Amino acid sequence: MPFLRACLQSGLFLLLAGCCLMRSSSPILVWNCSRDGLAPVLLRDLDAAMADYAEATGDEAVVVTSGRRTLRRQAELMADFSQDQLVGLYGRHGMPCYVQSIGEFRQREGRDPNADEVYEILRTRESGYISDHLYGGAVDIASSSVQNIAALRTCLQEHGFRVLDERDQGIACLHASHTGVPRLIARD
Ligand SMILES: [Zn+2]
């Protein structure tokens, strides 16, 4: 029954192709980090925004440098920031207690805290919110990889993202958080 076999084979092929398509992301996106733990709605809308952006600009590659982070990874990143950068990045809506604690550590010890010490400050903080990355609600995009930042911002905003240009704090990235992902407080 060659016909039946051909049908079964093509059916299998379509099934496999379908699975691959579901798992792939926009061809313009280059993932320099894992997609694990990112909210499905964020991934879906990021792909849609990137398709619009690619069509509007002809840009062919946009690099994602950071997705979901553990609190430990968050501490490692924050240990590398100056106090001014921390205030700029995390103090937009008033000074969080953990940024204040890191500043107090610097004054008391006369040096920068290391990643373990920042982790301890974050883990034991009183107020909760730190970053949308901690619950899979944000990605960072390397600004150097983007040909037209204004167009990318517009496309992301049209698909439910809030975009912050962290070059204002001397960090070469665009932070895009999805407004439809419920905010969670991470303690580890
Ligand atoms: Zn970010």
Task: Report how far ligand 1's centroid is from the alpha carbon of 176 (Å).
Answer: 7
CA angle in degrees (0–180, nearest 5) for 130-131-133: 145
**Distance from Cα 172 to the centre of ligand 1, integer Å:** 11
Q: 139 forms bridges with which residues in the sheet? A: 176
Ligand 1 centre to CA of 179 (Å) is 14
Residue whose C-alpha is closest to residue 51's, from 124, 156, 140, 148: 156
Report how far ligand 1's centroid is from the alpha carbon of 17 (Å).
Answer: 33
State the average pLDDT over residues 125-153: 93
pLDDT at 9: 59
pLDDT over 80 (residue 19): no
Distance from C-alpha of 46 to C-alpha of 159, rounded to nearest angstrom? 7
Q: Is the pLDDT of residue 2 over 70?
A: no
Q: Angle 42-135-26 (CA atoms, 0-180°, nearest 5)?
A: 25
pLDDT at position 70: 94
Q: 113: closest CA among 80, 143, 89, 136?
A: 80
| pTM, rounded to two decimals | 0.81
